[in-house]
């Protein structure tokens, strides 16, 4: 469908966001000798092989022992190392929540928890691995920064940016091949929302893979004479409240879009902001209190209501409530 639309952002290549992480980690490692990598038996899946090859003395295979990996990383920060831990999002969060809470967040350690295969787009492996609660868990932790970039280029830029930032970070990315529609030379500013498309009738706040769906939705809405603003919320915490309020002040209503449970997700954070400042209509696109299942990423995004068509519906519903 998107080929026939007049898209404001286009792509010539698709790539997985986890490759953006792997390539960003290699660059960060070249720039800063304190960057170290740890992985729990998923070097290939996390794309950490290039870093391991170039910096074997700064790379640690942990085996299938994620709790230990978080503790090791916290310990390594003490004399100034910048550890990047790598495993699936499920095992990066829920499995090790208490370790992150005590040894990383409460202790305010400079650990970068890098989590791949987040959300439904993991696909065929099914619900055991398709975590949809990770953003909620991580954003509740004091001191924690939560970032969910949208494509290969943004993930690479984010990975390099968090190496320069002092403090615990949760970096979430995914498995599927996805359009590369943001520039390779972008500067990634933690906590700064990116207004990608100007509009006046409704604002779409999207994060992660759903930013692409929001770009497609904007073109679909435009064909129907609706002007949508698209804002890329790559940093869910700290949330760029100023950008959110400024946009909604203009458009008067909003849609949140994320590959996550509605409970505890980006939409919840935006709702809190709006309720306290400008209680405008907000519609949610996300998973509604359910686990996922096996299927292709495209099938799953359609079945669970996470694609451009659903964003369009939500936008119209939000406008109708103005």
Q: Which residues are catalytic?
A: 66
Q: Alpha-carbon distance 11 to 273, whole Å?
A: 33
Contact between 103 and another protein by CB under 8 A: the answer reads yes
Residue (81 or 195) nearer to another protein, CB: 81
Residue 216 near another protein by CB under 8 A = no
Q: What share of the chain is helix, strand, coil (3-state, %, to 5)?
A: 45, 20, 35
Q: Does 46 bind another protein (CB under 8 A)?
A: no
Q: Binders of another protein among 143-162, rule CB under 8 A?
A: none
CA distance 104 to 111: 7
Quick one: which of 51, 27, 112 has its CA closest to 77?
112
Q: Of 245, 222, 262, which is closest to residue 132 (Cα–Cα)? A: 262
Binding flag, residue 177, another protein (CB under 8 A):
no
Looking at 44, 54, 94, 102, which residue binds another protein (CB under 8 A)?
A: 102
The answer to whether residue 132 forms part of the interface with another protein (CB under 8 A) is no
Among positions 5, 50, 107, 263, the unique one binding another protein when judged by CB under 8 A: 107
Query: How many CB atoms within 10 Å of residue 305?
Result: 16
Beta-bridged to residue 29, according to DSSP, are none
Interface residue with another protein, options 5, 14, 49, 81 (CB under 8 A):
81
Q: Which is nearer to another protein, 4 or 79 (CB)?
A: 79
CA distance 262 to 314: 14
| Site size with another protein, rule: CB under 8 A | 31
Structure tokens at 83: 């550890």
Binding site residues, another protein, CB under 8 A: 36, 57-58, 60, 62-63, 65, 67-76, 78-81, 83, 98-99, 101-103, 106-109
């Amino acid at each position: 469908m998107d080929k026939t639309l007049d898209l404001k952002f286009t792509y010539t290549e698709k790539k997985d966001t986890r490759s953006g992480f792997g390539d960003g980690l290699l660059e960060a490692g070249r720039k800063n000798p304190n960057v170290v990598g740890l992985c729990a038996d998923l070097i290939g899946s996390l794309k950490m092989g290039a870093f391991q090859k170039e910096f074997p003395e700064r790379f640690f295979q942990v085996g299938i022992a994620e709790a230990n990996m978080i503790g090791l990383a916290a310990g390594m920060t003490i004399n100034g190392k910048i550890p990047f831990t790598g495993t699936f999002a499920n095992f990066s969060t829920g499995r090790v929540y208490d370790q992150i809470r005590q040894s990383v967040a409460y202790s305010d350690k400079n650990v970068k928890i890098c989590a791949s295969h987040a959300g439904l787009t993991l696909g065929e492996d099914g619900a055991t691995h398709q975590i949809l609660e990770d953003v909620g868990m991580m954003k509740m932790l004091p001191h924690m920064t939560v970032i969910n970039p949208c494509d290969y280029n943004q993930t690479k830029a984010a990975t390099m940016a968090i190496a320069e930032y002092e403090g615990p970070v949760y970096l979430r990315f995914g498995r599927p091949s996805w359009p590369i529609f943001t520039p390779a030379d972008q500067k990634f500013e933690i906590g700064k929302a990116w207004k990608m498309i100007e509009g006046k009738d409704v604002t779409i706040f999207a994060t992660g893979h759903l930013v692409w769906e929001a770009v497609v939705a904007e073109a679909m809405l435009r064909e129907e004479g609706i002007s949508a603003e698209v804002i890329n919320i790559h940093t869910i915490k700290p949330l760029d409240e100023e950008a959110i309020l400024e946009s909604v002040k203009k458009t008067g209503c909003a849609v949140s879009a994320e590959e996550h449970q509605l409970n505890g997700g980006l939409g919840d954070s935006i709702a809190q902001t709006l309720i306290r400042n400008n209680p405008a209509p907000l519609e949610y696109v996300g998973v509604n209190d359910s686990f996922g299942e096996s299927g292709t990423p495209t099938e799953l995004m359609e079945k669970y209501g996470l694609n451009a068509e659903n964003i369009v519906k939500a936008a119209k519903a939000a406008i109708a409530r103005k």
